[in-house]
Structure 1
Amino acid sequence: MVEEKSSIPSHVGMILDGNRRWAKNRGIPTLEGHRQGSEVFREVALYAFDNGVQYLSAYVFSAENWARTKEEVSYLMQLIIKAVEKYLKDFHKYGINIRIIGRKDRLNKKVLKAIEKAESVTKNNDKGTLIICLDYSGQQEIIDATKSIINKGIKAQDLDTSIFEQNLYASDIPDIDLLIRTSGEKRLSGYMLWRSAYAELVFSDKLWPDYTVHDFQDALQQYNMRQRRFGG
C-alpha cells in the first residue's frame, strides 16, 4: 500500500508496450502476449484505484495498430470484447466508471456493443474512472477538436485553452499527472498529446506482461520525489 494518499496522482496514463516482444522472447504466439498483458492491466488497475488514483487511462489500441496483420487485429478485437466484459464485472463492483475514447466508426458491431454496454452500466459510478483508448490517436483528437471548434463558429480571437479543452474527446477528463510507459521505449507515440503536456514521465524497461504492482508502486514513488513546475 502507498502511505501518503495526498501525493497520489489524480490521473495516471499508461502506454502498455511490449506484449509482442514478450511473446517472441518466449517463443510463443504473439496473441498470448496480448492475453497476458490484459490480465496484468486488470491487476494494476485495481491496485491503482484501491490506492487513490481517480483516473486511469490506457493506450489499448492505437489508430496505427490497424496496420498489423489481419489475424492479430482480429484477435485483438476479440480480446478487447472479452476484456471489456470482464472489466465491467470487476470494476462495476468497485464503483468504477468505464469510458472509451477514440474513433468508433471503424470498430465492428460486437466491439461497439461491448463498449457501449460497459459505458452505460457504469455511467453513474463515482469511485474512479477507467479510460480505455481504443482506435485512438492524439493527433487525430487535436484535429477533431479543431474541426468541432470551426463547426461551432468560434472565432479565432475568442479561442483559448479552455475552449479547446472543451472540444477534446471526453472533455471532462483532467490532464495526466503521471505517464508510465513500459518496454524501455522513451516516447509518447501520440498518446493524449494535449493532456500530457505537463505530465511527469516514468519509463520502465520491463515488457508490459512482466509489469507488476510493485513496479507501479515504484512509479508512484518516483512521482512523489519530483517537484512539478508546470512549465514555470
Structure 2
Amino acid sequence: MKRITILIADDEAEIAQLIALHLQKEGYHCLLAANGPEALRIVQTHAVDLAVLDIMMPGMDGYEVTRLIREEHRMPIIFVSAKTTDLDKITGLVRGADDYVTKPFNPMELVARVNAQLRRYIQLNQPAAEMKPVLEIRELMIDPDRRTVSLYGKEIELTPKEFDILYLLARYPKKVFSTENIFQQVWGEAYFERGNTVMVHIRTLRKKLGEDVNKTKLIKTVWGVGYTFNA
C-alpha cells in the first residue's frame, strides 16, 4: 500500500511538530517546512498527498504557496491559521484551500479533517466504473467526470468542495439539505457544530455563480431548514 505523505508548513516549530506527532500516530509520513519557499520545494520534489499550511509564513505566505501548488497539483490543502474572521476564512477558501482550521485548534479535530479530505481525494482519483451523466439545468452545465462547471458557456473555477456542494444540490433539485447533512455528505465526517464551513462555502459558491449581481438564485436558502437547488 502506498504510504501517504503530508506536508506541514508552519514557521512555529512547536505547532508543526504537534501536528506531525498526531498525524504520525495515524500512520502518515510527514514532511515539515518552516517557510513558504521550503514548502513549495517539498511539493516539487516529493509526492505529497495533502498539505497543511499556515498562512502567515516568512518568504512566501500560504496564499501564494497555494496558488503555485494549484498550477500543477490537486491534492487537498488545509489552512491552519491564527486569522479567525469570516472574511479570513472566505479568503482562504477562495484562494484554493479545501478546509480552514483556526488556531488554537484541537489536534484530534484536525486529524479528523485530514482523514476526511484524504478519503474523498483518494475516492475521486479511483478509476470510474462508468461515466456519470452531465447535468444541464437551464444555462448551467455540470460535468461530474471532468469536474467542470460552466454557466452561459463560460467555465467557472470552483474548489473541490464548492463543486461537490453544487453537484450534490443539483442532483436533487427538489430536496432541501440541512447544513449538517451537506457537511456529512461532502466532507464525509461528523458535523462540528461550532463551525460555519458550509455557510462560507455556499457564500463563495454563490458569488462565483454571479448570484450577487444576477437576480436568478441557483442556490436557495430555506430559512430554518437549509439549502436547495432552484431548478
TM-score by length of 1: 0.26
Name which structure has the greater RCO, CA cutoff 8 Å, separation 6+. 1
Structure showing the higher helix proportion among its residues: 1
